[in-house]
Amino acid sequence: MIVKNEESNIANCLKSAQGVVDEIIIVDTGSTDDTIAICETFNAKILNFKWNNSFAEARNFGLKQAKGDWILWLDADEEIDIEDGKKLKKCLKKLKNEKLLSVHLINYIGKEKNINQTFQIAHTRLFKNHLGFKFNQNVHEILNAEEVLGEIQEIKMIPIKIYHYGYLDSEVLNKNKSIRNLNLLLEELKVEKHSPWIEYHLASEYYRLEKYEESFEYINKSIKGFINDKKLPPSLLYKLKYSILLCLGSIEGAWPSINSAIKLYPDYVDLY
């Protein structure tokens, strides 16, 4: 994982991972608090990385040091569900051909940790080591899965939950996370020109900043981009789109399309 000044989060994260993983690799990008000292108590391998505005490069730097058969990547403001963590190794041993796996990522939002104020997505967090996987994109980094595996029809999801607290109001305000991410994403879009995922993340950051018109513009670009690439837009795009419309007071505009999205994703409860 990548860290910088995470003394308030890192201990809980590492406690949840301890016993689940065989090695812990920490890429520190310039902590000035007790983050490193806390990591050392968990026998973590700590690497120093000069920050260059690229989360992908920092994560790839740590990836090169990993020796295990499987890679699990986390952020410091996340925790593995304790009971699920006990099952992870057994779950991996049962798999035969999978090289890439998704987990249930539970994102907390609002003022405090409240399970009723969360949204859940499938997130690719486990992959086989030594196959050429690496991370792309400076922010909201993603794996080069299609480059390694070719066209992917489906990524197997395993029954493991990871709790993410980075979108709680206190965390976002403390780190000016949305403004930082927005600037990095806009710079990356200048290079990429066309990227439905970058446009989705731009829409997400504008939404968090309550700039709903800008958010709506980018979520529509993202959906159109996936369709132009002949890919089904992921369900979380539709959830964000209709959240934006509701914030804009356009309930009548949101309702017909919500019904259409439910037909595409009948099992995605957040659309209901």
Report mean pLDDT in 10-residue bins for the chain, 272 residues. Answer: 96 96 97 98 97 95 96 97 95 92 90 84 93 93 92 87 88 73 88 85 89 93 88 81 82 57 53 47
**pLDDT of amino acid 272:** 46
| Domains 2-169 and 176-271 belong to one CATH topology | no
Task: Compute the distance between CA of residue 219 and CA of residue 229 in angstroms, rounded to an integer.
Answer: 15
pLDDT at 253: 57
- The full set of domain ranges for the chain reads 2-169, 176-271
Question: What's the pLDDT score for residue 238?
Answer: 82
State residue 263's pLDDT score: 55
CATH number of 2-169: 3.90.550.10
pLDDT of residue 192: 76
Q: Give CA–CA dist 22/37, Å, rounded.
A: 20
**Quick one: 248 exposed, middle or buried, by C-beta within 10 A (0-12, 13-18, 19+)?**
middle
Q: Nearest-CA neighbor of 100 among 40, 161, 140, 144?
A: 144
Q: Which fold has domain 176-271?
A: 1.25.40
